[in-house]
Amino acid sequence: MRTAVLVLLVACAAAQPTPSAKHEMFSQPEAYERFMGRWSRLVASQLIQLAEIHDGNTVLDVGSGTGALSFAIRDATKAGRIVGVDPSSAYVEFATKHADPLTHFEVGDGQDLHFASAAFDRTLALLVLNFIPDSERAAREMVRVTKPGGVVVAAVWDYGHGMEMLRVFWDEADAFDPTKESTDEAHMPLTHQGDLGALWTRVGLVDVEETPLVIEQHFASFDDYWSPFLLGAGPAGAYVGKLSKERQAALRERLRKRLLGDGPDHAIDLHARVWAVKGTVPSSQHAARE
Ligand SMILES: C[S@@+](CC[C@H](N)C(=O)[O-])C[C@H]1O[C@@H](n2cnc3c(N)ncnc32)[C@H](O)[C@@H]1O
């Protein structure tokens, strides 16, 4: 019953005109949690290892969303302080409900961080940079707020073939609706091998390392795969929200056939890969800015 009410509320909200499509797709924290937060939490634990967070480190989580990465850092490390920043006030409010003296969330824009230079030991961004209009400016901001010798880390889904959950979805959506405006996330910047590594080098980071990280996605049933797409979260949810009920049902059937064939419902296991990048702030980076 609660799920039905949530679906209805989200569908109604999606039908209202909103200031921007981006705001709309990142305005429903519960929907995001069910659609993607459960998976970003799995990637978070691998990204934390890449960032090598030491005891007492101050950590910034850019585009912190509902708090998946910040809370994973809190639980897996002995970081001294963790700050999350995100432009979605609904997400910040949701994350703040779970905050504690170690974690703190603020509304803000990654392109214009309101923190002093060299304020953090580690700066991370999980599944965010492809959504930021000027991602290079955001990357430069991540470098600016990180101490010399500090580490800057980011990851973006590989929407090409590495993120099966969304690849399957967009392949079927494209085949079903070839004239649709291209919303396939594979067209987004920074989602292909080498993109993040090149950006990290361009913004002056050293010892740059790009690496794939893979998680397994276990869906208990076809409905566990499909129903989160109805919640309006992310570009795929926004696309489904614009379809009529009949067209949603037709797309659902295509996906069901693709994932289950003509057989009965069963659990579905898919792989999801991100491209992750790590770089170190050289001591000259800050000297050059002062
Ligand atoms: C796919 S979600 C990822 C959220 C979270 N990092 C996670 O992994 O669950 C993308 C996030 O980027 C945020 N975002 C969009 N534009 C941004 C900007 N200019 N600066 C910082 N974050 C931004 C959105 O509000 C959203 O929370």
How close is the Cα of 131 to the center of ligand 1, in Å?
Answer: 7
Mean pLDDT lowest among 13-27, 102-116, 258-272: 13-27
Choose the residue to mutate in 131, 157, 163, 166 for probing ligand 1, maximizing ligand atoms within 8 Å of C-beta: 131
Ligand 1 pocket member 27 (CB < 6 A) = no
Residue 101, SS3 per DSSP: coil
- On the question of pLDDT at 9 being above 60, the answer is no
Ligand 1 pocket member 62 (CB < 6 A) = yes
Which protein residue's CA is at the shortest distance from atom 20 of ligand 1?
110
Determine the length of the chain: 290
**Residue scoring higher pLDDT (4 or 156):** 156
CA of 177: how far to CAs of 92, 200, 229, 230, in Å?
A: 35, 36, 17, 17
- For residue 19, how many C-alpha atoms fall within 13 Å in the half-sphere facing its CB? 4
Tokens coding 132: 């930021």
Q: In terms of Cα–Cα distance, which of 266, 267, 272, 229 is closest to 251?
A: 229
Q: State residue 161's pLDDT score.
A: 82
Measure the CA–CA gap between 242 and 57, rounded to whole angstroms: 44
Question: What is the CA angle 64-67-68, rounded to 5?
Answer: 105
Tokens coding 227: 């129903």
Ligand 1 pocket member 14 (CB < 6 A) = no
Ligand 1 pocket member 71 (CB < 6 A) = no
Tokens 């309006």 -> residue = 232
Query: Residue 279: CB partners within 8 Å, gap ≥ 6?
Result: 151, 152, 153, 200, 201, 205, 206, 207, 208, 209
pLDDT tens by residue, 107-158: 999 999 999 999 999 999 999 999 999 999 999 999 999 999 999 999 999 9
- On the question of pLDDT at 42 being above 60, the answer is yes
Query: Residue 100: CB partners within 8 Å, gap ≥ 6?
Result: 74
Ligand 1 pocket member 226 (CB < 6 A) = no
Which protein residue's CA is at the shortest distance from atom 14 of ligand 1?
63
**Domains of the chain as residue ranges with CATH:** 2-289 (3.40.50.150)
* CB distance 61 to 125 below 8 Å: yes
Q: Which atom of ligand 1 is nearest to the CA of 22?
A: 15
**This prediction's pTM:** 0.88
Which protein residue's CA is at the shortest distance from atom 13 of ligand 1?
63
* CB distance 111 to 136 below 8 Å: no
Q: Given pLDDT bands bounded at 50, 70 and 90, which one contains residue 181?
A: low
Tokens coding 123: 């700066």
Ligand 1 pocket member 68 (CB < 6 A) = yes
**Residue scoring higher pLDDT (5 or 203):** 203
